[in-house]
Amino acid sequence: MRMYDKKQDLAGPGISTYEEVSKILPNNYQAPLTPLKRMEALYMIKEYIEKGMAEALNLQMVQVPLIVSKNSGVNDYLDRDGSRTPVDFPAGLGLPKRIEAQVVQAATKWKRMALAQFGCDIGQGINTDMRAVRKDYFLDHDHSSYVDQWDWEKRITSEDRNLDYLKDTVKRIWKVIYGAGQLVKEKFPELNDPKYPDFPEELKFFHAEEILEMYPDLPRKQRETKLIQQYPAVFIIGIGWVLKDGYPHEMRAADYDDWVTPTVEKNEQLMHGLNGDILVWNPVTKRRHELTSMGVRVTKETLVEQLKITGQEDFLEMPYHQAILNDEIPLSIGGGIGQARTYMYLLRTAHLGEVTVTIWPDQLKKICAEKNIHVLE
């Protein structure tokens, strides 16, 4: 595979052409549930997951910002190539100098600071019903400019910063998602279509380095697809660290997840990273389907190390980063579970627009209409 292709494969969600989107979306599609029933099932899932996450991880639902100060350093830039920028605007009519505000792209960094603000003890955490705008996404069947997530964060100790703790947390989250799937299948028999296999009760863990060894000649998304065709629910560890081929599995921001910490040695090879993604096989679109990114968060030492790697050491002057360096905010683990992505997976829909209301280009709406996919507007 050419190096250029690997670089192209690193960052940027979405498929990039509507010709490709048209190939992915199923023909002669028939949604299992009517739009109104789908909303009933959706809110059943939402309630189940929010309660389940609270019990499984000891989380309290809290309010979350939609708007943050540009100068705070709290907003999420999603990756490290600078290609996805937030919506900026001046706020505060009548002020001598208006506030430089941004619409959040995710609440990743805010949540860690919020643990201190809400006075969370070790082992306690928060969950949020987060909304965001990501204007630089290519809009396809599972990416939209409007983002809804369960953004959660939990206070931990330095002893908890290990792979076993990460894996235990992932298993707890998957148990909740699986339980939500079983609930709606019981309440809505239409979802029990024999052409779709049941949701896997357990997921498998793989390090990004292992997957590269398994499929060395494939680009990242194709590696994931091959893996998930065999194991329909997986957690991929170590996203952000440069693998032995000279490229990370995927670009990942340097100032929240810890992807630099050495974790395990396998076949005399040291592997890195205390973070990862839950990916599942979507039998409707017959594609890889990401549900969540999560990880143990950086310490002040790994924050500096990762920002050196990415050439973003100027970030260290921002209030959020200074708070980490000065031990003003706690160690934590956290993540964001895509709400619409989860509904799409559990309710067997072909397009995000069936479970969320946002803008879509006319070209995509035409493709959907031709395939009997009715997006909400």
- Write the CB contacts of 133 (distance below 8 Å, at least 6 apart in sequence): 86, 87, 103, 104, 105, 145, 146, 147
Cα–Cα distance measured from residue 375 to residue 94, given in angstroms and rounded to the nearest whole number? 41
**Other beta carbons less than 10 A from residue 112's beta carbon:** 25
Q: Read off φ and ψ for residue 336, nearest 5 degrees.
A: -130, 120
8 is catalytic: no
CA pair distance 111, 323, nearest whole angstrom: 13
Considering 22, 293, 306, 339, which one is annotated as catalytic? Answer: 293
Is 277 catalytic? The answer is yes
Nearest to 159 by CA among 202, 123, 201, 120: 123
Q: Which of 142, 151, 277, 354 is catalytic?
A: 277
The verdict on whether 202 is a catalytic residue reads no
* Selected catalytic residue, list 9, 50, 209, 290: 290
* H/E run at residue 21: helix 18-24
Catalytic residue among 22, 105, 149, 306: 149
Decide if 76 is catalytic: yes
User: Do the bridges between strand 233-237 and strand 204-207 make them parallel or antiparallel, or are there none, so unpaired?
Assistant: parallel
Residue identified by tokens 């190939």 is 23
Alpha carbon distance 334, 76 (integer Å): 14
- Selected catalytic residue, list 9, 50, 76, 354: 76
Question: What residues are labeled active site?
Answer: 76, 134, 149, 277, 290, 293
